[in-house]
Amino acid sequence: MEITIHDSFKLCEIQEEFSKHFPYLKLEFFEFAPGAKKVFSKAYLITDTDKTLGEKRHIHRAGHISINGHQKVNTLEQHFLENFGVDIQVFRKSGNVWLQTTTTDNWTLSEQNKKGEEMKDVVKEEMTDNYDQYHEQI
């Protein structure tokens, strides 16, 4: 999959495109004050994904990003930051919660997605508010 990155792209459009290819993963966007220590917690999560990329990033460079299943999570996250000035984190579905993939960032996107698929039947009841189910993987 290749995504064209430009300032007028909405965050939700990037998330939707990613989820089409990796249905058990999702991208989340975070916003930090310039120079602030980056702690990927719920406090810095961008919940209004109707905002455009231009409103939420520091590097306003257009370009393309190629995303494939062989790519490691940490490579994807680093690419978004270095080339487009936006902080993202990949989350994996686990039952009815989304886990931040911090400790498994060296896994490929395909490995993460497969693990999410395996975990889909662990808990069948879906929660209505995913943001209340934000968890960091330890």
* pLDDT > 70 fraction of the chain, expressed in percent and rounded: 88
Is the pLDDT reported for residue 35 higher than 80?
no
Dihedral over Cα of 101, 40, 18, 12: its sign: positive
Q: From CA 97, how far away is CA 91, in angstroms rounded? A: 10
DSSP annotation of 55: H
Eight-class DSSP state of 45: B
Confidence (pLDDT) at 126? 47
What is the average pLDDT value for the chain, to the nearest integer?
86
For residues 125 and 115, which has the higher predicted lDDT (pLDDT)? 115
Strands 87-94 and 25-30: antiparallel
Backbone phi, psi, residue 107, to 5°: -80, 155
Question: In the chain, where are the structural domains located?
Answer: 2-136
Give the pLDDT confidence of 75-99 residue by residue, as tens digits.
999 999 998 889 999 999 998 899 9
Model pLDDT for residues 36-74, shown as the tens digit of each residue: 788 888 988 999 999 999 899 878 888 888 999 999 999
Question: Which stretch of 32-36, 90-94, 108-112, 126-130 has the lowest confidence by average pLDDT?
Answer: 126-130
**Two tokens, residue 117:** 């698929």
Write out the two tokens for 122: 């662990």
DSSP state for residue 71 in the 8-state scheme? S
